[in-house]
């Protein structure tokens, strides 16, 4: 096992990785930017080093600064978390060259998945089904428009280097094609430094279903159940659940084995995720995420496998301690990403100081968070407050527990998307698991969010009850919080 691991990340995922280290008796090193000098993760670590100003390019993305701290502190491993340097093959290579173990796949495997076009081609060769589309970069607009017509509208134009839901555009008709192409090319050039784009058929009414993979250095690769992440805004996930209500045991086996095939095709090592689109009984490869996902928590809750600790074991060269047939699952888990963002203002980030904070708890609840009362959510990074997860013996119990936890959760000072989660969780469509990536629009969720906020405002309870733990009072406190938020919104309008 490692002696000392540097965590090249911030917030909740830095704490998640440190928790795994602490349980394994590994010491931890944090690196933090100026904006994070009072952040929980920096205090949680055994050692913490300031590496630069708030902008990520001068701190969390500065490979040499991060490596320098690792070398000076004698760290023998680096956990990259998600985002930042986690899928950067140059960084993985630099770690390899410095003799420090990058806790993730090899730089070669990351490289192979870095370009969506190259990934498509690798998967086609390996016999993994992909969405119908073109397998090369678009160079000639007229030719591309013709191909799009042959594939059949709607099509989706995607940046080959894209990620995080950025660099994608759905095109419904030929006359929109040229202008959409130019706009995505310029987005791709500015966001990813690479204007290369390609086209895929736009899969109608798709569900996003992904498989967790674990692979050791000896060719043992298993799938650890699936997650459904269909509830998205701007192609980014907001609510995930495991298992997927759309998956039968037979389909799980088929898709899981395909995911293993995809991972093996690139010589994948460590924890990763193979993402698929699923529609009308068919599934298509989307991409491999070469890191621990935000939503790994719900897989841990239903399988009892600690994925972060497995990452450390695998990276040190240990063999997977289980085979495919040993992996079982129990119950149902749901994750709501609690973000400081305003669902009633197109999910605009709402950074600021958290004046009051009371997390949810009780049976079946897991909260992974990097914030606390008095913490300031910085505009420099993502707006996540926490990952609120609920486990139940079945889906209905998981939903009931999540609804109860959302009513317990109190955040004052910043606008949150808690009313959004409440609106989704109480909707008939969610209860009936009628999920697609268009769920929010198809079910008028934003109108429902307005109702949630109004109902809670009407209760008009004072903020004093925030610190009372009785269930009714907690619900009342949540209402008070919402009324404060809506009053604040009115003031700013």
Rounded to 10 degrees, what is the CA torsion of 211, 216, 218, 221? -10
In 352-413, the DSSP E strands lie at 352-353, 356-358, 365-369, 376-377, 384-392, 410-412
Q: Which is nearer to ligand ADP, 39 or 184 (CB)?
A: 184
Q: Is 74 in the site for ligand ADP (CB under 6 A)?
A: no
Q: Segment near ligand ADP (CB under 6 A), from 66-74, 164-172, 214-222, 384-392?
A: 164-172
What are 203's two structure tokens? 């899969």
Q: Segment near ligand ADP (CB under 6 A), from 172-180, 202-210, 349-357, 452-460?
A: 202-210
Q: Outline where 49-140 has alpha helix (H).
A: 63-73, 89-98, 107-114, 116-126
Q: Is 206 in the site for ligand ADP (CB under 6 A)?
A: yes
Q: Is 160 in the site for ligand ADP (CB under 6 A)?
A: no
d(CA 399, CA 382): 26
Closest distance of CB 427 from ligand ADP, Å: 19
Q: Segment near ligand ADP (CB under 6 A), from 73-81, 163-171, 294-302, 464-472?
A: 163-171
Task: Choose the catalytic residue: 291, 337, 358, 404.
Answer: 291
Q: Which is nearer to ligand ADP, 187 or 365 (CB)?
A: 187
d(CA 235, CA 229): 10
d(CA 220, CA 456): 52
Q: Is 363 in the site for ligand ADP (CB under 6 A)?
A: no
Q: Could you tell me whether strands 27-33 and 47-52 are parallel, antiparallel, or unpaired per DSSP bridges?
A: parallel
- With b for 16 or more beta-carbon neighbours within 10 A and e for fewer, the 255-265 pattern comes to bbebbbbbbeb
Judge whether 252 counts as a catalytic residue: no
Q: Is 439 in the site for ligand ADP (CB under 6 A)?
A: no
Closest distance of CB 283 from ligand ADP, Å: 12
Task: Quote the Cα angle for 90-95-97, to 5°.
Answer: 90
Contact by Cβ (8 Å): 203, 276: no
Q: Is 437 in the site for ligand ADP (CB under 6 A)?
A: yes
- Among 10, 120, 208, 421, which residue sits at the site for ligand ADP (rule: CB under 6 A)? 208
Q: Is 118 in the site for ligand ADP (CB under 6 A)?
A: no
Q: Is 456 in the site for ligand ADP (CB under 6 A)?
A: no
In the three-class reduction of DSSP (H, G, I as helix; E, B as strand; rest coil), residue 30 is classed as: strand
Q: Which is nearer to ligand ADP, 294 or 354 (CB)?
A: 294
Task: Quote the Cα angle for 417-362-245, to 5°.
Answer: 60
Rounded to 10 degrees, what is the CA torsion of 171, 174, 178, 184? 10
Q: Segment near ligand ADP (CB under 6 A), from 34-42, 91-99, 157-165, 353-361?
A: 157-165
Q: Which is nearer to ligand ADP, 232 or 483 (CB)?
A: 232
- Among 87, 226, 241, 275, which residue sits at the site for ligand ADP (rule: CB under 6 A)? 275
CB contact set of 356 (below 8 Å; sequence gap of 6+): 373, 410, 411, 412, 413, 463, 466, 481
Q: Which is nearer to ligand ADP, 350 or 437 (CB)?
A: 437
Q: Is 313 in the site for ligand ADP (CB under 6 A)?
A: no
Contact by Cβ (8 Å): 78, 68: no
d(CA 492, CA 215): 51
Q: Is 163 in the site for ligand ADP (CB under 6 A)?
A: yes
Q: Is 417 in the site for ligand ADP (CB under 6 A)?
A: no
Distances (CA, A) of 214 to 1, 324, 333, 368: 18, 10, 20, 22
Q: Is 87 in the site for ligand ADP (CB under 6 A)?
A: no
Closest distance of CB 416 from ligand ADP, Å: 23
**For ligand ADP, what does the binding mask look like between residues 131 and 150, x meaning CB under 6 A?**
x-------------------
- Among 12, 200, 226, 300, which residue sits at the site for ligand ADP (rule: CB under 6 A)? 200
- Among 202, 285, 332, 375, which residue sits at the site for ligand ADP (rule: CB under 6 A)? 202
- Among 28, 106, 180, 232, which residue sits at the site for ligand ADP (rule: CB under 6 A)? 232
Contact by Cβ (8 Å): 107, 97: no
- Among 240, 287, 300, 341, which residue sits at the site for ligand ADP (rule: CB under 6 A)? 287
Task: Give catalytic residue positions.
Answer: 291
Residue ranges in contact with ligand ADP by CB under 6 A: 131, 156, 162-165, 168, 200, 202-203, 206, 208, 232, 235, 275, 277, 286-287, 437
């Amino acid at each position: 096992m490692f002696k000392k691991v540097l965590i090249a990340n911030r917030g909740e995922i830095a704490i998640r990785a440190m928790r795994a280290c602490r349980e394994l008796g590994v010491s931890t090193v944090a690196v933090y930017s100026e904006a994070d000098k009072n952040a929980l993760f920096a205090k949680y670590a055994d050692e913490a080093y300031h590496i630069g100003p708030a902008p990520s390019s001068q701190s969390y993305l500065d490979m040499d600064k991060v490596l320098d701290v690792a070398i000076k502190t004698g760290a023998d491993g680096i956990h990259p978390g998600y985002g930042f340097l986690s899928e950067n093959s140059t960084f993985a290579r630099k770690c390899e060259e410095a003799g420090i173990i990058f806790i993730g796949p090899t730089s070669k495997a990351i490289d192979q998945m870095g370009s969506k076009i190259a990934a498509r081609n690798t998967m086609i060769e390996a016999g993994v089904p992909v969405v119908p589309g073109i397998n090369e970069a678009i160079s000639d607009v007229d030719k591309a428009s013709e191909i799009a017509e042959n594939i059949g509208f709607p099509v989706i134009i995607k940046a080959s280097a894209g990620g995080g839901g950025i660099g994608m555009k759905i095109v419904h008709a030929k006359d929109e094609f040229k202008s959409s192409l130019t706009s995505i090319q310029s987005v791709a050039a500015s966001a990813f430094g690479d204007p290369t784009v390609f086209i895929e058929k736009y899969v109608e009414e798709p569900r996003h279903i992904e498989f967790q993979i674990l692979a050791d250095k000896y060719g043992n690769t298993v799938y650890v159940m699936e997650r459904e992440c269909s509830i998205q805004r701007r192609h980014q996930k907001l609510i995930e659940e495991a298992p997927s209500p759309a998956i039968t045991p037979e389909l799980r086996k088929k898709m899981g084995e395909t995911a293993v095939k995809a991972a093996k095709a690139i010589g994948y090592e460590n924890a990763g995720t193979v993402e698929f689109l699923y529609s009308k009984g068919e599934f298509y490869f989307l991409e491999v995420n070469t890191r621990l996902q935000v939503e790994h928590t719900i897989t841990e809750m239903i399988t009892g496998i600690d994925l972060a600790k497995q990452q450390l074991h695998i990276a040190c060269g240990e063999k997977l301690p289980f085979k495919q047939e040993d992996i079982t699952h129990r119950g149902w888990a749901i994750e709501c990403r609690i973000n400081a963002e305003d669902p009633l203002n197109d999910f605009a980030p709402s950074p600021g100081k958290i004046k009051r904070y009371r997390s949810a708890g009780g049976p079946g609840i897991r909260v992974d968070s990097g914030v606390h009362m008095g913490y300031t959510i910085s505009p420099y990074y993502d707006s996540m407050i926490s990952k609120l997860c609920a486990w139940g013996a079945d889906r209905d119990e998981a939903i009931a527990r999540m609804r109860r936890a959302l009513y317990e959760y109190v955040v004052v000072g910043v606008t949150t998307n808690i009313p959004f989660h409440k609106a989704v969780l109480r909707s008939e469509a969610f209860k009936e698991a009628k999920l697609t990536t268009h769920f929010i629009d198809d079910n008028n969720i934003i109108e429902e969010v307005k109702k949630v906020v109004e109902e809670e405002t009407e209760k008009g309870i004072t903020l004093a009850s925030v610190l009372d733990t009785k269930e009714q009072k907690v619900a009342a406190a949540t209402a008070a919080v919402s009324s404060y938020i809506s009053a604040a919104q009115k003031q700013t309008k």
